[in-house]
Structure 1
Amino acid sequence: MRAKFVLALSILSSGLSSLSPLYGVTPPPASNAGIIDKEIQDQYEVNIFSPTKDIPVLDVDIPFQKFDLPEGISVQINTFIFQGNTIFSDQQLQNIAADYVGKDLKSSDVKEICYRIQKLYAEHGYILSRAYTPVQEIAGGTLTIEVIEGVLGSIEVEGNRYYSTKFIKKYFSSQIGDVVDYNRLLRSLMLINEHMDLNVGAIFKKGKNKGEADLIIVAKDKLPLHIATDYNTYGSYLTTKGRAGLRVDGGNIALGGDKLSLMEVMGFPFDHLDFSNAIYSVPLTANGLRMDLSYLYSGFKVNTLNALHLKGSSNIAGIRFYQAMHRTRRLSTDVGIGFDYKDLLNQQMSKTFSYDKLRVLTFSGRLDYADSYKGRLISDFNLFIGIPNFLGGLSAVDHLCSRKGAGGRFFIANLDVRRLQQLPWDCLLVFSATAQGTLNKIPIAQQIYIGGIDNVRGYPLATALGDNGYYGTLELRAPIPYVANYTLPFSKTRKWKDLFQFVFFTDTGAIFLNGHVQKEQAPSFITSAGLGFRITNLWRFDISYDSGFALTKDHKSSDSIQYLRVALRIL
C-alpha cells in the first residue's frame, strides 16, 4: 500500500512574512522540513504500477472421471441419488436434474447432468469437483451420481532457494483436508507473491487417496536484496536544489517474509539537508496481516536569510497495521490503522521558533481494481486524527504550533487516485489526483502543497500550502514511432518501447485556507504543461527528464523548470 506518511517540521509562514520588509523576500513554504520530508518520502517509494495485474499461474493435472452407456442405449430414470456432496445439499443438486426425471436418458444426457453439477461447483470456486456415475446396476429407474468435491491432500514446494519451504507452506497449510476453493487458493497465491522477489504458481496432481488432490507449489525466487542510488534536481533553492540518495531494501532477513528498507538523502552542501528513513515490515499472519515500524530523521538549513540561521529537524516514529481484505483476479482491497509520534522543531538564531509535537492516529484503505478495458485503478484513502495533550503533544490550540490558531487537534481526509490506461500503439495514459479536506486550521506539516515534481511541474516545490486543496496530472507516455517493437541492438528480448518513452503532461492544483488568512496566502490556482522522456534500465541506469511550463501567473518563478533524475540499480 502506498503508505504516505505526512511527516514534518515547519517554519511559521506568517513569522517569515513579517521579515520580508527587512530582507525584501518572503521564503515560500518549501523551506519547511515537513514539506521536504513528504516530498522526499514519496519520491523514494518503490511502488511501480503496471496497467495490468499479475495473476499467479494455477494449473490442474488430474484425469477426468468418465462414464459411458453403450451407443444407442437409453434408460428411463425416475430418481436421482447423490453421494459425496457436502458443499451443496441434495435438494440443490436435485434441482439441476429435475428436467430429466421420468425421461429416457442416453449417455450424452447423463454427461450433461454431471457437467451442470460441475459447473455449479466451479461457479463457486470449487474447480476440482467432479460428478460422475459409478459402476452400478440401474434398477427401478434409480441412477446414482457420485460427487468428488476435491479435497486438498498434501503440499509440496519446488524451486525455492531463498524463502524456506516452511514459510511458503504456511500460506496453504490451513486448507489441507478442505474442499479445494479456487478463490481461497488464489488469495493465498496473491498474498505470498506480494513478498519481495518471490513468485509462486501452483499445479494440482492426483492425490494418493480417492477424492484428494495434491498441491505442488512451484516457486521462483531471487536474492531479496536491492540497492539503488540516484541524483536529482527535485529540491528547493531555499535548502538545496540538487540531492543524492541511496536506498537499500532487504527481504527475508530475520523473520519469514520480513523486509527492511533504509533511505538516506543528502543535499549539496551536505549540511543543508540530511534525510534518513528506516521502515521494517513483517507479516504477522498468513492471512494478510502486516505490521510496519518506521523511524525518520531529517535536518535542514535555509540558504536564504543567513543572518537568521533558520534551521530545523524532524524526529518521527510510527507503527502501522495493514490487513488484506479482498484478493481476486480483478480486485484487491486493504485496510489499515497506524499511529505517528512526531516532534518537529524549527529554530531561528538557535532559539525555538515553533515546535510541533503531533500525535496522529491514521485510518487507511486501499482499492486496486483491474478492469476489462485494459486499465487499472488504484485509490488510497487516509483519515488523519490529531490527538491533543497525548504523550507530551500539543494542546488543541497551542502557541508552539507552526501556525497561529492551530494545534494538536485536527481531522483530515486525504484521497489519492491513480488510473493507468493502455492505449493503441503501445501508449499509456496516466491520470493521478490527490485531494485533502479538513474543517480545522492545521499545522503546516499537515497541509497539502502544490508545486514541484509529481505535483504541478513548472512551479517551485511547495509554492503554496493549504488546509484544503487538490492537485492532479494527466500524462501521455508514448514510445518512439515506427521502431517501438524493434528489438534493441544490445538485447535479445527487450524492445525499444521497453527502453524509451516520450512524456507529455498537463498539471493543475489549488489550495484553500481555513480561519483568518490576512497574514497568510489567499486561495491559489496554478496550471502547467510540459514534456519529457523516460529511459528505463539502460545498463542499469534509469533516467527521467521533465520540462514544466507555468501557464498561470500566480507563483510563477520562471518560464519553465527542468527536472532531471539519474538512478543506478546497483543490485
Structure 2
Amino acid sequence: MKSRTWTVLRYVPAILLFFFPIMLVSHLGAQSNDVDTLEEGVFVEDFVFTGNTVMDTATLLRTVEDFRNQNLTLEDMNEATELITLAYQEKGYILARAFIPEQEIKDGILQIAILEGNVGEINVTGNKYYSDRVVKRFFKQQVKEGVIRESHLERGYLLTNDLPKLETEIILEKGEAPGTSDIVLKTDDKRGVRWGVDYNNYGSKFTSRNRYGTTFEFTEPSLGSTFSLRAVTGDNPGDSSLLAPFYTIPINSYGTKLGIEPAHKLKIDQNKLQNCRSNILNLVNVL
C-alpha cells in the first residue's frame, strides 16, 4: 500500500478563490440607514435561510436560537452567520459560507444567505496512461451529492491513489459558475510494465538451497487492472518450482476489487521428500 498524506488538499487557497468575488453586503434598509441604529441594534424575531439544501432549516434555527427575539447589532448578526458557517463545516462542508445579503428587515425577519460550495467540474491533469474516466470514477459520490464534502474528497483521494502506478493530488479552484468550485485531480502516472529477478539461499537441501525468482507485472490503465506472474525455481527445476499468476481489477466506484488467483503449481521431487521423511522417522525411533 502506498503511503498517503492528506496535506495535499489545498483548502485555504480554494476558499480564497471561492469567496473572493462575493460581496458580503450588510445593508439593512429603512430601519438601518442611521449609524446609531446599527450600534443600538435592530429587533430580530426570527431568521429566514436561503440556499440551504444539505442542512434543513430546523437545524439552522436551533444553531442561532440565542439570537432570536433579540436586538441585534451588525456584529451580532455576523456572529450568527459564523455559527451557521461553523455548523456546515462540522458536517464536512468545508467551503460553505453564510452571510447577510442586502435586504430590508420587515416584521423582525432577518434573512441569512448560504453558499454551500457546489461542485463545478472535475478535471484531470498530468495523466499520460490512465484515462480521465478511471481517475474520476471514485468521485461519483461527490458529484452525486453536489455540495463539496471533505469525506467524499478524502475517500476519492485514497481510492484513486490505491490504483497502481498512479499518484494524485486534489486541488480546489474557483468554478466558472457562481458559487461553485472545480475539483482538479493533478496526477502522476507511470508506465504499467514491471519485470524483475531475485535470488535467495533460504531453501532447504531437499528442495534446493538456492532459489531463483522472476516477477512480471502489467497494469492496464484503461481499466486500472493489474496482472502479475511470479515464478520460483531451484538449482534443478525438477526438484521444486512454483508458478503463481494473479489478476485484480476495480469493479465499481466504491473501491471494490475482483481478484483472480488460480491454484499455484508447485512441483517437488517426491523421492527426495520421501528420503527426508524416512530420516526424520529413523531419528524419532532412535530417541
| TM-score class, shorter | 0.7 to 0.9
**2:180 is equivalent to residue 223 of structure 1:** no
The one-letter code matched in structure 1 to 2:6 is I
Does the aligned pair in 2 maintain the 1:58–1:203 contact within 8 Å?
A: yes
SS at match of 2:164: coil
Distance 2:271 2:178 in 1: 77
Task: Return the offset for 1:286.
Answer: 1.7
1:493-534 alpha-carbon deviations (Å, 9 max, x no partner): xxxxxxxxxxxxxxxxxxxxxxxxxxxx9xxxxxxxxxxxxx
Task: Return the offset for 1:174.
Answer: 5.0
Task: Return the offset for 1:210.
Answer: 2.8
**1:299 aligns to what?**
267
> Aligned residues, how many?
262
2:252 maps to which of 276, 285, 299:
285
1:259 maps to which of 206, 216, 226:
226
SS at match of 1:180: coil
1:297-348 alpha-carbon deviations (Å, 9 max, x no partner): 1111157477x699xxxxxxxxxxxxxxxxxxxxxxxxxxxxxxxxxxxxxx
The one-letter code matched in structure 2 to 1:297 is K
Distance 2:177 2:242 in 1: 59
The one-letter code matched in structure 1 to 2:243 is S
**1:95 aligns to what?**
62
Does the aligned pair in 1 maintain the 2:25–2:101 contact within 8 Å?
A: no
**1:59 aligns to what?**
10
SS at match of 2:85: helix
Distance 1:305 1:128 in 2: 67
Task: Return the offset for 1:139.
Answer: 2.9
The one-letter code matched in structure 2 to 1:195 is L
The one-letter code matched in structure 2 to 1:279 is F
SS at match of 1:237: coil
Distance 1:111 1:247 in 2: 63
**2:180 is equivalent to residue 212 of structure 1:** yes
Tell me which protein shows more helix as a share of its residues: 2
2:93 maps to which of 126, 135, 143:
126
Task: Return the offset for 1:157.
Answer: 0.9
1:182-221 → structure 2 map (5 Å cutoff): 182-221=150-189
Q: Max radius of gyration: which structure?
A: 2
1:235-259 alpha-carbon deviations (Å, 9 max, x no partner): 2222122211111222126x51000
Does the aligned pair in 1 maintain the 2:85–2:97 contact within 8 Å?
A: yes
Q: 1:305 to 1:164 in 2, by over 3 A?
A: closer
SS at match of 1:111: helix
Does the aligned pair in 1 maintain the 2:215–2:229 contact within 8 Å?
A: yes
Normalising by structure 1, we get a TM-score of 0.42
**2:31 aligns to what?**
none
Q: 1:168 to 1:57 in 2, by over 3 A?
A: same
Distance 2:68 2:23 in 1: 22
Distance 2:115 2:181 in 1: 11
Distance 1:289 1:247 in 2: 25
The one-letter code matched in structure 1 to 2:81 is C
Does the aligned pair in 1 maintain the 2:140–2:253 contact within 8 Å?
A: no
1:199-223 alpha-carbon deviations (Å, 9 max, x no partner): 1121222222233222111111121
Does the aligned pair in 1 maintain the 2:138–2:255 contact within 8 Å?
A: no
SS at match of 1:63: helix
Distance 1:111 1:221 in 2: 46
The one-letter code matched in structure 2 to 1:63 is F
The one-letter code matched in structure 1 to 2:129 is Y
Distance 2:148 2:276 in 1: 67
**1:86 aligns to what?**
53
Task: Return the offset for 1:227.
Answer: 2.1
1:507-518 → structure 2 map (5 Å cutoff): none
Tell me which protein shows more strand as a share of its residues: 1
SS at match of 2:224: coil
1:368-394 alpha-carbon deviations (Å, 9 max, x no partner): xxxxxxxxxxxxxxxxxxxxxxxxxxx
2:216 maps to which of 245, 248, 271:
248
**2:144 is equivalent to residue 144 of structure 1:** no
Task: Return the offset for 1:123.
Answer: 1.6
Q: 1:78 to 1:161 in 2, by over 3 A?
A: same
Task: Return the offset for 1:195.
Answer: 0.7
1:441-493 alpha-carbon deviations (Å, 9 max, x no partner): xxxxxxxxxxxxxxxxxxxxxx9xxxxxxxxxxxxxxxxxxxxxxxxxxxxxx
Calculate percent identity across the aligned residue pairs: 29
Task: Return the offset for 1:101.
Answer: 1.7
Does the aligned pair in 2 maintain the 1:56–1:186 contact within 8 Å?
A: no
Distance 1:291 1:79 in 2: 55
Task: Return the offset for 1:276.
Answer: 0.7
Does the aligned pair in 1 maintain the 2:141–2:152 contact within 8 Å?
A: no
**1:156 aligns to what?**
123
SS at match of 1:219: strand
The one-letter code matched in structure 1 to 2:115 is I
Task: Return the offset for 1:94.
Answer: 0.8
Distance 1:265 1:256 in 2: 29
Does the aligned pair in 2 maintain the 1:238–1:303 contact within 8 Å?
A: no
Does the aligned pair in 2 maintain the 1:239–1:302 contact within 8 Å?
A: no
Distance 1:303 1:265 in 2: 20
Distance 2:239 2:138 in 1: 47
Normalising by structure 2, we get a TM-score of 0.81
